Structure 1
Amino acid sequence: MFTGIIESMGTVKAMQPTGGDIRLVIESASLDFSDVSLGDSIAANGICLTVVEFGNDYYAVDVSRETIKRTALATLQVGDSVNLEKAMLPTTRFGGHIVAGHVDGVGTVKLLKKDARSIYIEIEIPQDLAHYTATKGSITLDGISLTTNLVRDNIVCLNIIPHTAQMTNIAKHWFVGSKVNLEVDIVARYLERLLLKPQTSSDVASTQGGIDEAFLAKTGFLK
């Protein structure tokens, strides 16, 4: 699990084809490797990937074809900057929102312009993911926990403050037409499943159509 608060920036040092997959090597002089072990999870641009090799200032991960297909990773090139976040600890300050590191789809930057000291950005997201977003809700873009200003159909509108732009890949690598990894709020996904597709327990199944007022009263949520 992650929080969407970027710890440091990394640089893609190598993208090595390995039997249909990719061995991705990321270098970072600012990421703390003192507590990194083989098998740990580090999110790169919001993609949860497993460390298979590491040194004092780099680590390597294997990227499957499924991940390549479902993310914007294929657009990366050697020398590109990526946002990095190690998996959270029980003692970690929860500064963003719940981020799984499982990319739901790829968004496209449609508009990017200055807005006072911040950057106003509009991102077009896949239509089938639009209903998981909400005005003033949370969304993860390239691993960054962001708050939406407004959701207009399948366009997500955001304002990026100078600190966020400087501490992430936004300032250097986001342009009109850029592809970004998108993860919707996991709470919205579970709410949809609870409301539309009840689980098989007798209490939930007995509601037939999902959670309603009678079910909430029966299970003690309404007094």
Structure 2
Amino acid sequence: MFTGIIQAVGRIASREERGGDARLVVDAGRLDLSDVAIGDSIAVAGVCLTVVAIDGTHWAADVSIETLARTTLGGLAVGAGVNLEKALRLADRLGGHLVSGHVDGVGQVLGIDDDGASQRWRFGLPRPLARYVAVKGSISVDGTSLTVNAAGEADFGVTLIPHTLAATTFGERVVGDAVNIEVDLIARYAERLAGSGSA
């Protein structure tokens, strides 16, 4: 489990194809790996991956065919920037919202407009996911916890403050880029409970 508060921007250092799967080696950048062990989870652009090797400031993860096909990880090139967050510990502050690291779909940057020192961003998302997106609700985009300020039938809007732009990969994104979307867990559970027919 994660919070959606990005701890560092890393880079894809290398990529090795392994019979349809891939092994990604990530340069952790400023992410402290001193308390990370083999088997721990780190979210990469919002995708929960398992650490299989650590070497100094680099760590590796094996990514399945399924994950490569259903997230943006399949299209990441060597050198690409990625948002990084270590798994939540029970004693940690929950600064964002509960994020599982299980991507619901791939969206797209549709628009970026200046709004004072901040920016208003609009994202497209698969229509089946739109019902889980509500104004003032939470959503994870490339692993970043964001507050929704506009919601449409196949798009939503957020405001990114200067800190978020500087501390994440959003500063490198342009209109047309693909992004990983994870809807709010609470919205999914609420729908499940509402449809269960039991009290």
Give the equivalent residue in structure 2 for 1:19. 19
What residue is the counterpart of 1:184 in the other structure? 183
Q: Is the 8 A contact 2:109 2:174 kept in 1?
A: yes
Is the 2:12–2:27 contact (alpha carbons within 8 Å) kept by the matching residues of 1? yes
Q: How does 1:197-212 map to 2 (within 5 A)?
A: 198=196, 210-211=197-198
Q: Structure 1 runs of 4+ off > 3 angstroms?
A: none
- Greater C-alpha radius of gyration: 1
Which residues in structure 2 correspond to 1:86-97 (within 5 Å)?
A: 86-97=86-97
Bigger fraction of residues in strand: 2
User: What is the percentage of aligned positions where both structures have the same residue?
Assistant: 48
What letter matches 2:107 in structure 1? G
Normalising by structure 1, report the TM-score. 0.87
Shift of 1:19: 1.4
Shift of 1:29: 3.1
* CA distance in structure 2 between the aligned counterparts of 1:183 and 1:142, rounded to whole angstroms: 8
Number of matched residues?
Answer: 199
> What is the TM-score normalised by the length of structure 2?
0.98
Deviations 1:182-222 (A, max 9, x none): 000011111111111x2xxxxxxxxxxx25xxx4xxxxxxx
Cα distance in 2 for partners of 1:75, 1:118 equals 29
> What is the alpha-carbon distance in structure 2 between the residues aligned to residue 103 and residue 144 of structure 1?
12
- Residue by residue, what CA displacement relative to the aligned partner does 1:139-169 show, whole Å, maximum 9, x if unpaired? 0000000001110222111110000000000
Tell me the SS of whatever aligns to 1:148: strand
After TM superposition, give the deviation of residue 75 of structure 1 in Å.
Answer: 2.1
CA distance in 1, matches of 2:82, 2:167: 11
Contact 2:11 2:29 in 1 (8 A): no
Q: Mean Cα displacement is larger for which, 113-122 or 42-51?
A: 113-122
User: What letter corresponds to residue 136 of structure 1 in structure 2?
Assistant: K
- The answer to whether the 8 Å contact 2:104/2:182 transfers is yes
Residue 116, structure 1, aligned to residue 116, structure 2:
yes
Q: Aligned equivalents of 2:32 and 2:181: distance in 1?
A: 26
User: What displacement does 1:119 show?
Assistant: 1.3
Is residue 100 of structure 2 the alignment partner of residue 100 of structure 1? yes
CA-based RMSD of the aligned residues comes to 0.9
Question: How far apart are residue 17 of structure 1 and its match?
Answer: 0.2
Note the residue ranges of structure 2 that are not aligned, 5 or more in a row: none
Matches within 5 A, 1:44-63: 44-63=44-63
Counterpart mapping for 1:135-214 below 5 A: 135-172=135-172, 174-196=173-195, 198=196, 210-211=197-198
Deviation for aligned residue 1:56: 1.6
**Amino acid corresponding to residue 58 of structure 1 in structure 2:** H
For 1:161 and 1:132, the matched residues in 2 are separated by 24
Unaligned 5+ residue runs, structure 1?
A: 199-209, 216-223
